[in-house]
């Protein structure tokens, strides 16, 4: 085990001394020592999303998990893999690709992002519309609790029905319930063919075009809508390009014959919509760079303020219209799942609060109209901003109705509040 006293800053707080365990027993011992000394534990992966959430609430030690990166078990014929949480997503995909398989989930900066960090943050990517989310692929987990004990839930086979899916509580919990050390995942065969098609679409046509896509006989795995500023950041259009229209990207991944048919079919269906033009097609290997650009967009390093909006898919266009009146932004919407990522530049704390207030009102109002009193409010989360601006209300918005339940789960799993204290909503 290596200890780096130089430390690391987590969302502006620090420096926190870094511990680099090389095994699970070393990790467990580190956690026991931290708890005995009243210190907090801050698990770290690749460091790609350290500014997501609230700043740490108390001193402690950071645990670099990248030393726990073994491939534990890979029965390729069973379409499952068990791997330690410190392995990067890119490393895992390379191993799976050797057997003609993959994990069809998108993670920004996959060469650096670890599996544990991806599960803790649970960011929706462009392929979620076609393949689902992390909760659809996790079969089981091993987690170290605040006593340094290994706790296991789920299993290593697909047809596992024993016990509760407690591991799903850790997905998206920002590491506040324990330290994830091992996970078993379902995997899928690699698609035989890939295609990405890009339409230029005026704002007044966007709603009709998306309706046509949803009514289409085709089944895209992603429906992405972006403005020109976002497209330039993703190198999809050249610098200097500027218009009031947007780009709509549809992605297909399947058997070669199926992709070819879907590509031709969607072209016939959307060509009937006046004002929309197919401007680009990327096939096979050349499409991978565009897929990765769409995936990496939420983590654009140059943006001082980044946000995510989650609404019902049918309300995406309303939120995009509202964004036009909230200052110049680069935005990318995954319209099939109602997720919108955006970046703002050149604003101060007061500007950010005003824009968030307006955006949250828009997202909540339209979701309520669509849901007819069903509990499905729109939600706006700040992904990145200066740490000194951060409060629970600014980062997470109004507390959800089930916050009491979240607090109960935290108190049960981590009664001494040693794991990532302060990072999650309500400061726990």
Higher pLDDT, 414 or 6: 414
Indicate if the pLDDT at residue 164 is higher than 60. yes
Residue 217 confidence (pLDDT): 92
Q: Kindly report the CATH class assigned to 68-189.
A: alpha beta
Query: CA 359, CA 366: separation in Å to the nearest integer?
Result: 11
Assign 367 a pLDDT band (cuts: 50, 70, 90): low
**Which letter, b or e, does each residue of 301-338 get, where b requires 16 or more Cβ atoms within 10 Å of its Cβ?**
eebebbbbbbbbbbbbbbbbebbeebeebbbbbbbbbb
Query: CA 195, CA 215: separation in Å to the nearest integer?
Result: 20
Indicate if the pLDDT at residue 375 is higher than 60. no
Assign 366 a pLDDT band (cuts: 50, 70, 90): low
| Angle value at C-alpha 266, between 260 and 271, nearest 5 degrees | 130
Indicate if the pLDDT at residue 9 is higher than 60. yes
Mind listing the pLDDT tens digit for each residue in 200-237? 999 899 999 999 999 999 999 999 999 999 999 999 98
Query: CA 140, CA 124: separation in Å to the nearest integer?
Result: 20
Side by side, the strands of the sheet bearing 60-64 are: 2-10, 13-20, 60-64, 40-44
Fold match between 193-297 and 300-397? yes
- Listed by start position, the domains of the chain span 2-66+414-427, 68-189, 193-297, 300-397
For residues 394-409, average pLDDT: 86
Residue 427 confidence (pLDDT): 56
**May I ask the CATH architecture of the domain 193-297?**
2-Layer Sandwich (3.30)
Residue 365 confidence (pLDDT): 78
Share of the chain above pLDDT 90, in %: 73
**May I ask the CATH architecture of the domain 300-397?**
2-Layer Sandwich (3.30)
CATH number belonging to the domain at 2-66+414-427, selected among 1.10.10, 3.30.43, 1.10.760, 3.90.1280: 3.30.43
pTM equals 0.92
């Amino acid at each position: 085990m290596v200890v780096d006293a130089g430390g690391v800053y987590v969302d502006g707080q620090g420096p926190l001394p870094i511990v680099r365990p090389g095994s699970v027993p070393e990790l467990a011992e580190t956690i026991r020592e931290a708890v005995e000394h009243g210190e907090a534990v801050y698990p770290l992966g690749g460091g790609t999303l350290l500014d997501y959430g609230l700043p740490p609430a108390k001193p402690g030690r950071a645990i670099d998990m990248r030393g726990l990166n073994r491939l534990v078990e890979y029965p390729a014929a069973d379409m499952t893999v068990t791997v330690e949480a410190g392995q990067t997503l890119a490393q895992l995909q390379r191993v799976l690709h050797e057997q003609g398989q993959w994990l069809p989930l998108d993670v920004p900066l996959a060469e650096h992002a670890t599996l544990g960090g991806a599960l803790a943050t649970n960011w929706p990517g462009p392929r979620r519309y076609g393949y689902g989310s992390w909760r659809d692929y996790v079969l089981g987990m091993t987690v170290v609790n605040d006593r340094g004990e290994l706790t296991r839930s789920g299993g290593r086979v697909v047809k596992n029905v024993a016990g509760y899916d407690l591991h799903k509580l850790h997905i998206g919990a920002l590491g506040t319930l324990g330290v994830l050390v091992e996970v078993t995942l379902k995997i899928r065969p690699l698609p035989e063919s890939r295609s990405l098609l890009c339409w230029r679409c005026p704002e007044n046509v966007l709603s009709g075009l998306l309706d046509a896509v949803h009514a289409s006989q085709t089944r895209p795995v992603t429906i992405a809508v972006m403005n020109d500023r976002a497209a330039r950041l993703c190198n999809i259009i050249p610098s200097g390009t500027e218009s009031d229209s947007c780009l709509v990207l549809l992605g297909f991944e399947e058997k070669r014959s199926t992709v070819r048919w879907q590509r031709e079919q969607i072209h016939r269906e959307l060509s009937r919509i006046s004002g929309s033009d197919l401007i680009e097609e990327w096939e096979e290997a050349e499409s991978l760079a565009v897929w990765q650009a769409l995936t990496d967009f939420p983590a654009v390093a140059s943006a001082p303020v980044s946000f995510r909006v989650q609404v019902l898919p049918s309300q995406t266009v309303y939120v995009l219209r509202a964004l036009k009146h909230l200052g110049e932004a680069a935005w990318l919407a995954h319209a099939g799942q109602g997720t919108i990522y955006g970046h703002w530049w050149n604003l101060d704390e007061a500007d950010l609060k005003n824009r968030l207030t307006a955006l949250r009102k828009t997202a909540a109002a339209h979701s309520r109209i669509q849901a007819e009193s069903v509990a499905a409010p729109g939600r706006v989360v700040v992904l990145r901003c200066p740490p000194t601006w951060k409060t629970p209300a600014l980062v997470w918005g109004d507390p959800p109705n089930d916050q009491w339940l979240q607090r109960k789960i935290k108190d049960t799993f981590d009664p001494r509040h040693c794991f990532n204290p302060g990072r999650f909503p309500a400061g726990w």
